[in-house]
Structure 1
């Protein structure tokens, strides 16, 4: 399932392609025909994300809510002005089409037209999103209060979208390694200072994922990427991690073997030596 930065990046692409325009909205597959008819020809005001939920606001108080789930994909591509409409290949649930761009949605877990009240309900069910500004409705302290009331492991809680929105398996494994936190410690034992380190680090790391489309968690790669972006360049970011999918390999910090365990159905990776903070 895409991590939160992917949805924020997608929202930015939809905004750039269709913001302020009235795209044709259709359902080539037919499963979203009624919803598409409600949005067709309406002005697309903005696209935005909270955690792994994507929202596209249209004029008239209607919002398209999309959850990609495990297999959903939404591609935004330019089209030839004045050319023929590109054919809809595969099972396209929803298509946005303008004179300059096409966006085809395939395989989402959810695709619905909702009102403002439903948008609020969906967002309030989620935890705070590190990619959103801190506010009364996006409060990291609320996540910490939930964590400290739980006997579940920190690893499980960081992946629970009702606790913390947008964080997936890679960010979870890597940020715990970065702060030497044992992933199997109970949430109720997590100190406030340790939680603040985790939250602040996610706030720092995840915007790089939005800008580059790649999860970056190693400091040297972060520094190189930041320098390239500062020069106005598009950096080539290597897919390298400290512990994620590195079972049996040496920890990049201490040289100990990286461990692996399935927790709540997801693969967990950590260093048994330097992640001993309990």
Structure 2
């Protein structure tokens, strides 16, 4: 599943090519024909991200909501239009570029009430300037759940995915099983600031980079991480422990991150 920086990067890029433009909208796959027909020929007024949710606001106070889930993918291409590649749920075409969205978990039109209900369920997004860290800390400080679980709960704090969770906790020397209620405000503030820093770097570099001053890697996803997927901790050279948190793999160093 894409992490929050990917969705914010897409919103930034799509805003540049679609904002205040009349779009041609279609559903090559056919599973979004009615929605595409309603959006076709309307002006896209804004594109923004809320955590892992991508929102295209159209005239008429309707919004296209996209959540990629585990298997969704977004492709941006310059015009002229190429043939659709794979099962394209929705194609958005502007003056210079098009965007194809394949396999999203959610692709739907929301009215203002429905959109407000959606965004109201999403926790503070570390990449949004209107995010309220006090709201996130209030939820965390009342919870007996481990901070590793809470960071992936998008209703508590939005945008942090599996890799960022592992890396932020290691950088802050926090054990993933530390109960939220035992996290001090000072430790939370450091965690929040680090999350903002790392995800902003992810948007800028279009890659997950959690190793300070490191360039993007050469792999498919260009990740540069400290302990995620690693056997040895770069700080203490001790073994890294792999665990499952809500059926997602996570890693921690028992020496650097004592409970």
* TM-score normalised to structure 2 length: 0.94
1:231 aligns with none
8 Å CA contact 2:72, 2:103 repeated in 1: yes
**Distance in 2 separating the partners of 1:2 and 1:268:** 16
Task: Show structure 1 runs of 4+ deviating over 6 A.
Answer: none
2:36 aligns with 36
Say which SS state the counterpart of residue 219 (structure 1) adopts. coil
8 Å CA contact 2:146, 2:176 repeated in 1: yes
Answering whether residue 92 of structure 2 is matched by residue 104 of structure 1, we say: no
Of 104, 118, 124, 1:122 maps to 118
**Distance in 2 separating the partners of 1:93 and 1:220:** 39
Answering whether residue 235 of structure 2 is matched by residue 253 of structure 1, we say: yes
Answering whether residue 32 of structure 2 is matched by residue 50 of structure 1, we say: no
Residue 211 of structure 1: CA displacement? 1.4
Map 1:77-88 to 2 at 5 A: 77-80=77-80, 85-88=81-84
**Distance in 2 separating the partners of 1:107 and 1:95:** 12
Say which SS state the counterpart of residue 122 (structure 2) adopts. coil
Residues 11/238 of structure 1: CA separation in 2 closer, same or farther (3 Å cut): closer
1:242 aligns with 226
1:131 aligns with 127
Q: How many residues align?
A: 255
1:151 aligns with 144
Alpha-carbon RMSD across the aligned residues, in angstroms, is: 1.5
2:23 aligns with 23
2:255 aligns with 273
Residue 238 of structure 1: CA displacement? 5.3
2:191 aligns with 198
**Distance in 2 separating the partners of 1:101 and 1:238:** 25
2:203 aligns with 210
**Distance in 1 separating the partners of 2:69 and 2:232:** 33
1:170 aligns with 163
Residue 53 of structure 1: CA displacement? 0.6
Gaps of 5+ in 1: 226-236
Residue 122 of structure 1: CA displacement? 0.7
Residues 40/238 of structure 1: CA separation in 2 closer, same or farther (3 Å cut): closer
Residue 148 of structure 1: CA displacement? 1.7
Residue 118 of structure 1: CA displacement? 1.4
8 Å CA contact 2:208, 2:222 repeated in 1: no
Say which SS state the counterpart of residue 63 (structure 1) adopts. strand
* TM-score normalised to structure 1 length: 0.88
Answering whether residue 5 of structure 2 is matched by residue 12 of structure 1, we say: no
Answering whether residue 71 of structure 2 is matched by residue 71 of structure 1, we say: yes
**Distance in 1 separating the partners of 2:50 and 2:85:** 29
Residue 258 of structure 1: CA displacement? 0.9
Say which SS state the counterpart of residue 207 (structure 1) adopts. helix
Residue 24 of structure 1: CA displacement? 0.6
**Distance in 1 separating the partners of 2:94 and 2:223:** 34
